[in-house]
Chain A
Amino acid sequence: MSTPDPVVSTLLLNPTVCDGRGLCHHAAPDLIDLDEWGYPILPGGGLRADLTKAQVKAAEDATHACPVLALHIEKRKQ
């Protein structure tokens, strides 16, 4: 049995800023899905998603792709 990867940071979406451009999905299709109206769905479906070390790169790509700065990454306090 392998232990689950530790959570190193959290991806945050501000829905009042998001315009549904969809670039986050194109930058990180395995991490961020789009709903039927073109708005992002984070892992778990809410506005905060825990990230493992393996997911951080994709989350950074998505965050940098967003033209309206609706995504943020918050480092976990160790």
Chain B
Amino acid sequence: MGRLGIETRSSLSMHLSQYGALPAIAQRHGRTPGALVGELEKSGLRGRGGGWFPAFRKWNAVVDSSVERGRFNRTRHPVVIANGMEGEPASAKDAVLMASSPHLIFDGIAAAAATIGATDAFLALHRDSNLLPILTKALDERHAAGIDSMTIALVTPPARYVASEESALSHWVGEGIATPVYPDRPFQKGAAGRPTLVQNVETLSHVSLVARYGGDWYREVGVPSAPGTTLVTVGGAVAEEGVVEVPTGTPVHEIIQMCGGTTEPIRGYLTGGYGGGWIAAEGFDRTPWDPDSVRDAGAVFGASLMWLIGESECPLTEMARVSAWMAGESAGQCGPCIYGLPSISDDIHHLAMRHMSDAEMKRLEARLKLVQNRGGCKHPDGTARFVSTGLKAFSDEVALHLDRRCSVSTSRPVSRPGTEGSLPVPLPRLALVDVSGRDFE
């Protein structure tokens, strides 16, 4: 039984009968944030957007920079942005949470705003999200009941991968431009230059539980290094793809069993997302599903998703499809991303299509190093990691392809790797959305 109530769609009255009203949240006074920060520190809650950064540190940093800016008479009132963008195409956990427990998220936003002294609060979701009516209705219910002291506004940035990055999100809320910002971080100088707390919607729903039941209660489940429960998106070669809630540290094979088990022998996992990494199947299913254990096993926890790839699929074809999409999702700001990602994607296509020479393979390996640590955001790093971990996890398959063979399709040439496969790759939206600004409507 989960804590976040993802099994049912909760109206406000159902939410209140299940969790009770949010207790009064102590307001920030000057440089002292509300007492909830202390409970958050005790709880050990870490951010669920993918970075797993301790929540209380982020909140303190926003308050500190607000005080600092106030000394110089600069705009200083913090802003809260709940990140419900879920830019990872293979992830579904935030959508499931927003559809089932919107009030837990809104409670968390309200609690965060009071604790850090924010004067504006937003929930951001993809422009083409079908959750807009559900969340609008939930906000209407709260408005009618008069339970929030401030207005929470829904904002819908363009449905682009990097638009979900926290500096891009605060850039969009402040200036209407959905590109990542470098080098200012949102907690220092975010939306409209104001200190901005960007926190994933799942994190905020955990916040509302800590506010109700306290930090010690929160730690009762999960591993000490990342306490609590986590939503997991499970996809690929499992009987029932979907989202489950488990205590952190639950072994991977138990999570797979919750999804009806595997449908064929597994050759590897994509973990964390398209900016995450691949890991060979060998022994991974015994790994406890928590950020530190998964990292120690050589994989990436990221947005807590695992995608199982079976022996009937060619992982290099999947990498070619996804890397092409990732290259197209660049915000187009930094050279190594603008030129490097399409070059890498081209190389992977050559490999998947079994045209790759050894010299090209060497060049690919050099390019994968060349694009890292050189972008204004981590999009090139994530894409390079997606490819380099795949080359390592499926080194047997790489060797076969360099030899003009493939373990899956022995006769049929892979003529169009971009068109068939299993990992979800959204259709290009370039014709509809201007990456650098608001929509054209």
Contacts and interface: CB of A to CB of B under 8 A. Distances in A.
SS class of chain B's interface: helix, strand, loop or mixed? loop
Contacts of A45: 369, 372-374
B374 A46 contact: yes
Interface string B334-349: 1110111001000000
Interface extent on B, as a size class? 20 to 34
A3 B436 CA distance: 49
B180 A39 contact: no
B336 A35 contact: yes
Given A18-B335, A37-B339, A47-B373, 17 more contacts: A14-B183, A15-B375, A15-B376, A16-B333, A35-B336, A35-B340, A35-B370, A36-B343, A36-B367, A39-B339, A39-B374, A41-B370, A45-B372, A45-B373, A45-B374, A46-B373, A46-B374
A43 interface: no
A35 B374 CA distance: 11
Contact of B182 (A15, A41, A46): A15
B55 to A, nearest CB: 27
Contacts of B335: 15, 18-20, 35, 37-39
Nearest to B375: A15
Interface residues of A, number: 16
Interface string A1-30: 000000000001011101110000000000
Given A37-B339, A38-B335, A39-B335, A16 B374 contact: no
Contacts of B375: 15
Contacts of A18: 334-335
A46 B183 CA distance: 13
B376 A37 contact: no
A48 to B, nearest CB: 9
Contact of B374 (A19, A36, A47): A47
Given A45-B374, A46-B374, A16 B339 contact: no
A14 B376 contact: yes
Looking at B335, B343, B370, which has the most chain A CB atoms within 10 Å of its CB?
B335
Contacts of A16: 179-182, 333-334, 376
A38 B48 CA distance: 37
Interface in A23-78: 35-39, 41, 45-47
B347 to A, nearest CB: 12
B70 to A, nearest CB: 24
Nearest to B372: A45
Contacts of B373: 45-47
B374 A37 contact: no
30 contacts: A14-B182, A15-B333, A15-B334, A15-B335, A15-B336, A15-B374, A15-B376, A16-B180, A16-B181, A16-B182, A16-B376, A18-B334, A18-B335, A35-B335, A35-B370, A36-B343, A37-B335, A37-B338, A37-B339, A37-B340, A38-B335, A39-B334, A39-B335, A39-B339, A39-B374, A45-B372, A45-B373, A45-B374, A46-B373, A46-B374
